[in-house]
Chains A and B, each alone.
Chain A
Amino acid sequence: MADRAQQITLARNGHLSRPSLFKTLTGSAALLVVLLLTLGTVAAVASHATVGRGFTPADWAAIRFTVTQALLSATLSVAIAVPTARALARRRFPGRQVMVALLGAPFILPAIVAVLGIVSVWGRSGLISEGLTAVGLSPLNIYGFSGVVLAHVFFNLPLATRLILQGWMAIPAEHFRLAAELGFTSKDVSRQLERPMLRAAVPGAFLLVFLLCLTSFAVALSLGGGPRATTIELAIYQALRFDFDLSKAALLSLLQFALCTATAGATLALAKPTAFSIGLDHPPARWDGTERSTRLVDTILLLAVALFLFAPLVSVILRGLPPLFALPPQVWPSLLNSLLIAVPAALLATALALALAALITELSRRTGAAALLEAVGFLALAASPFVIGTGLFILLNPVIDPFKLALPITIAVNATMSLPFALRILLPALQRAEDHYGRLGASLGMTGLTLFRIAIWPRIKRAAGFAAGLSAALSMGDLGVIALFAPPDFATLPLTMYRLMAAYQMQAAAGAALLLVGTSLALFWVFDRGGRLDHNIR
């Protein structure tokens, strides 16, 4: 296999044709959108800044706290996600599909709903505390650093699991068959097949989770127990709102981008693309991991993860179910608006990711510029929604009333915010497809769209479906910029949910939250399924 890897590397480096004009144009356009919404909006905010103050000790404390909790949250999420994804990859049990689908749920919960869900299990009055007090022990107190990490693992463990599972599914089935024929044990499979795959998949997953935790605000604060849990994002909010210090907001934003770029550089340098040979696209099947002990470990792990993730979800469902059938009429148009945003945003995010991934794939045969492009693709995750909102406002307001553009702005911003995920999912798939079939197709005289349609698309379809599904679900649940630009007669479902809460109608809000989770999951399932149908492409 090492030989094979070398061949492929050689082939890669030897392939020195110029990127096609089409790929250069579309890739650059995608890049431009990302840069405008991230660095562009920061520049706009900075351009309106008067003399601001430098960082205070409190800001440095916020920076330290942010980085520490994000590192720990990401490490824990990925450390648990690896064995969980392995168990999901090699076990077949009733409900497995449902479990994989529900892995998308925690991730899309609005912050406030997730906090209430977590509290109902882990809080002072939660299930566990009730159990503890019933047997005479003192209740749990999660508020503090542990609460922040707990919540972030709850949010991100499922995402990391899905991303790594994707890597497992990409190992050609023939490899596992060969391994079985050669009498490989689980350990051998792990060394020969799984570790190289993890080397490629884990850094990206870690990076995504790290960046998500980096920009956390409401969750970190409310479970962190107080201002000790101040994140950079909260400091940005304070600069924009409490101090009206635009220069500090811009500085803090730049710091987030720098952290993002540094972490992206470090993790992506660790990542080593897999060099599995071409398979025949058989559906994956496994012959390993049949030892009784591994079966037991997998079962216990899956049960524990399911309990950890789904107990707060069950509480969200139980709370939301009764009011679901008597929702205020305003909920329905806002659901429609959310769909009108989520579907185009998902398609746009996938298109942007595909354009960027195509350019990166072409470039990686030539230069290290690809690595830079890949890092830029993550920038949007480190962007503060408040800075994007304020920056866009400064940019657009002299030209056109931003409120008239609430819908397209939200679609564009949501698509860009989802881009890092879509790119992370699509890029490995596209690189594999290009490596394995790009030259073969080219040698058969296929070019451009024909090559893409016949040789490439069928092999990245599943990843594209997953990417679009995740983007759609993310856009559904996002409050982000719409809260800043919503005209009075326009609301999305998350916005309506927050408005209900602000009007004391917590029960109706719980119903709206359940509707939100349900439709987001359904949307995710539809796209994800769309990429999966007839995945048996032989």
Chain B
Amino acid sequence: MTSLFRTAFVGCLTGLGLTATLAGTAHAQDKPVLTVYTYDSFVTDWGPGPQVEKAFEAVCDCDLQLVNAGDGAALLSRLQLEGARTDADIVLGLDTNITARAKATGLFAKLSPAPSGLDVPVDWSDDTFAPYDWGYFAFVYDNTKLKDVPGSFQELIEADKDLKIVIQDPRSSTPGLGLLMWVKAAYPNKSAHIWDSLAPRILTVTKGWSEAYGMFLEGEADMVLSYTTSPAYHIIAEDDHTKSAASFSEGHYMQIEVAGKLASTDQPELADQFLSFMTTDAFQSIIPTTNWMYPAKFPEAGLPDGFEQLITPEDSLIISDTDVEAIKEDALAEWLTALSK
């Protein structure tokens, strides 16, 4: 079957005379190639990818190839499908909601050396994955329209019945799964009740972040599940000060984005070099205004102007990756039950 496919596609390809377009990026002949699997918005021109590639290639004498392999769970699925045959040396873009599953595949090697001196608000002691950025999930609102801003999940539940939020589906979206864990972390024993009470506030649930944020910007919902750093984009890139993140007294759940080295890599030293480079200024200073997240290690020069206007949650909530794996199925069932009523 596969050879038939190959013949068909190769035939199609030559027939269309598009071979030249498809040859892809030419490999630099003698330089070693480091292949990094990551997610789409990391590699686009608006993401950190292009600058990271340039900065690392300036010091590594290598060819850094960033490959868009889907986000979060899709990235891991791709690796599981490829197994040890994968071309990837590094995977960048998993988060702590999925790292336990990633480790269980046995595809990853231990870090050497482990990163140190990080500016992540929680202790980082993972021996397989190193963080490169982090953020807090939060509900973002328009401060010219919403006056009685809820300061907690409780206040959100008790808010005016016309106050509507739009969230993302945990089955298809990273922030959606983040919210599931946020509620679990804040209310470990009554999360089902919280979802029951929150249900009337939820206007709708979207497949991904873009749909939800787009609907919020259209004025369809009063608040949208996003990040505390989202207003920074509007402030820095658009000089728009009307978007704020609501500070919740229960604390805010964190997303910590990490990278790890594949055990099957044919470039182990280069991979280690990249992971060390990841926490240097050259890499970290790119993060805030491209990924719109906090860098894992603040650059010497500090954060860009505008970030000081963001809320800083008093409590940083996070559930360990092994616990996430253990509870996520039940948490999803609770969510489905509450929102399907």
Contacts and interface: CB of A to CB of B under 8 A. Distances in A.
A325 interface: no
Give the contact-size bracket for chain A: 35 or more
A380 to B, nearest CB: 16
Contacts, number: 192
B205 A221 contact: yes
A526 B234 CA distance: 41
A55 interface: no
A503 B41 contact: yes
Given A36-B5, A503-B41, A244 B80 contact: yes
B8 A120 contact: no
B12 A484 contact: no
A498 B71 CA distance: 14
Contacts of A93: none
A507 to B, nearest CB: 9
Interface stretch (B54-62, B216-224, B294-302): B216-224
Interface in A228-255: 228, 234, 237-238, 240-242, 244
Contact of A241 (B43, B164, B172, B203): B172
Given A112-B211, A340-B18, A404-B22, A222 B206 contact: yes
B81 A390 contact: yes
B171 A242 contact: yes
A406 B18 CA distance: 11
A305 interface: no
A277 to B, nearest CB: 42
A95 interface: no
Interface in A498-514: 498-506
A407 B77 contact: no
B115 interface: no
A48 interface: yes
A234 B339 contact: no
Nearest to B206: A222
A510 to B, nearest CB: 9
A414 B169 CA distance: 27
B159 to A, nearest CB: 16
Contacts of A123: 215, 218, 220
Contact of B211 (A222, A397, A403): A222
A29 to B, nearest CB: 9
A224 B335 CA distance: 16
Given A221-B206, A399-B6, A228 B12 contact: no
B123 interface: no
Interface stretch (A201-209, A366-374, A485-493): A485-493
Contacts of B45: 328, 330
Interface residues of B, number: 75
B193 interface: no
A396 B2 contact: yes
B18 A408 contact: yes
Interface in B20-59: 21-25, 40-41, 43-47, 49
Contacts of B73: 241-242, 244
Interface in A445-484: 483-484
Contacts of B273: none
A224 B204 contact: yes
Contacts of A408: 9, 12-13, 16, 18, 22
A412 B8 contact: yes
Contacts of A327: none
B9 A116 contact: no
Given A403-B67, A412-B8, A504-B237, A395 B1 contact: yes
A340 to B, nearest CB: 7
A241 B77 contact: yes
A119 B221 CA distance: 11
B164 A124 contact: yes
B12 A411 contact: yes
Contacts of A501: 210, 213-214
A123 B5 CA distance: 46
Contacts of B41: 499, 502-503
B9 A119 contact: no
Interface string A357-397: 00000000000000000000000000000000010111111
Interface in A211-232: 217-218, 221-228
B171 A505 contact: no
Contact of A227 (B203, B215, B339): B339
A407 B22 contact: yes
B141 interface: no
A297 interface: no
B5 to A, nearest CB: 6
A482 to B, nearest CB: 11
Contacts of B215: 115-116, 119, 123, 222
A227 B2 contact: no
B171 A403 contact: no
Given A218-B208, A234-B207, A399-B5, 19 more contacts: A221-B205, A221-B206, A222-B207, A238-B172, A241-B72, A242-B172, A392-B5, A394-B81, A395-B5, A407-B13, A407-B21, A408-B18, A489-B25, A499-B46, A502-B41, A502-B44, A503-B41, A506-B213, A506-B214
9 contacts: A36-B4, A124-B221, A226-B202, A406-B22, A407-B21, A488-B66, A488-B68, A502-B40, A506-B217
What 5 A-B pairs have minimum CB-CB distances, sorted nearest first?
A: A503-B46, A501-B210, A488-B43, A125-B219, A238-B171
